[in-house]
Amino acid sequence: MEPRMELINSVLAAMTALLAAEQLDKLQEVLCIKLHDFEVQPRSTEVMITDNSAEGMLNRFIATKRLEGTAETTIRLYSPYIMGLIRALGKPLYKVDTYDIRYYLSLYKQQRQVANRTLENMRKCFSSFFGWLSDEGLIGRNPCKAIKAIKYEKTVKKPFSPEERERLKNACTNLRDLALIEFLYASGCRVSEVVRLNISDIKFHSRDVVVLGKGGKERRIYLTEVATMHLANYLAQRRDDSPALFVSRHAPHGRMGKNGIEAVLRKLGEKTGIEKVHPHRYRRTLATNLVDRGAPIQDVQQILGHADIRTTQIYLYNNPQNIRYSYEKYSA
């Protein structure tokens, strides 16, 4: 039914109990005359986005990724990489083809002398963007589908050895730093997860914590007796009223951020002469130690909060001694 007639009928229905038949006929006549020159449309409660420019589509893509819980570190790569491509090609997105993207990547490498790893990160960004455009029906086909992953030399990221972990603990000059590094190892948390934790989140009796991970997903992590002891000692000597689990050592004792935690570990590395001391290496160390001691990789995946088990496999360091032991045990 035409929207104007729907409106008229709804008004008449609402007035039926109040007006006589002749009055209803008159009301209908007046409404028909008065509404003749108006366009009537039902109000839409949907958010309408009409910016179909390349920049507008990029903004919509980033908003979608943020809504899906994509890490901010990843989102920060999207805009400069994709915007650079859009401006360099200077054509509508639906006209971009596979050759355009290959040409842009080749030219980018030649002009900027970047490593293949950077190019692969760019390719992933483009693939995610054009894949989204295709799924949304904004372009006909994904031009990145035919572009294969760009190979690059992968460096082996080693975990801390037991001796290195001991040296780092001995280098701590205060209870906070000792509790911090023991917590990082025992929990396997991302530094962003540690930053958000409050004292009230710690369940000392059961030695576990519920953390908010990537994509807003909660997971339960566990603590060793040693980590719990150092954490309790640290909290017992605090005199501030901050709810944060880890705070700065100087007034006003604000919540430690990512940069603050990384700075503490960097100084410990400089003091001990151990290279590449950072929070993520403790996470890698826990994953490797758990698997080395017989933990199923599926359990390690849950502890680390990985959606894909292949990500967990990347974290693991294949100890040559373990490989030799397995060979000699199973080859005989």
Q: Looking up tokens 């017992």, which residue turns up?
A: 236
pLDDT in tens, 192-244: 999 999 999 999 999 999 998 877 788 999 999 999 999 999 999 999 999 99
Beta-ladder partners of 221: 209
Buried b / exposed e along 261-292 (16+ C-beta atoms within 10 A): bbebbeebbeebebeebebebbbbbbbbbbbe
**Considering only CA atoms, which of 231, 229, 238 is closest in space to residue 197?**
231
Q: Helices (DSSP H) in the chain: which residue ranges?
A: 3-15, 21-34, 54-67, 72-89, 98-112, 116-135, 162-171, 175-187, 191-196, 225-236, 258-272, 279-292, 297-304, 309-315, 320-331
Catalytic residue among 102, 124, 214, 219: 214
pLDDT in tens, 230-264: 999 999 999 999 999 999 998 899 999 999 999 99
Helix, strand, coil shares of the chain, percent, nearest 5, are 60, 5, 35
CATH architecture entry for 162-319? Orthogonal Bundle (1.10)
Domain with CATH 1.10.150 in the chain: 54-135
Catalytic residue among 65, 123, 165, 306: 306
Fold of 54-135: DNA polymerase; domain 1 (1.10.150)
Does 34 qualify as catalytic in the annotation? no
Does 283 qualify as catalytic in the annotation? yes
Does 315 qualify as catalytic in the annotation? yes
d(CA 127, CA 105): 13
Does 250 qualify as catalytic in the annotation? no
Domain with CATH 1.10.443.10 in the chain: 162-319
Catalytic residue among 123, 230, 283, 284: 283
Does 280 qualify as catalytic in the annotation? yes
Catalytic residue among 167, 169, 280, 317: 280
List of the chain residues with pLDDT < 50: 44-50, 327
Predicted TM-score (pTM) of the model is: 0.64
pLDDT in tens, 274-283: 999 999 999 9
Catalytic residue among 65, 176, 190, 281: 190
Does 306 qualify as catalytic in the annotation? yes
Q: Looking up tokens 């904004």, which residue turns up?
A: 138
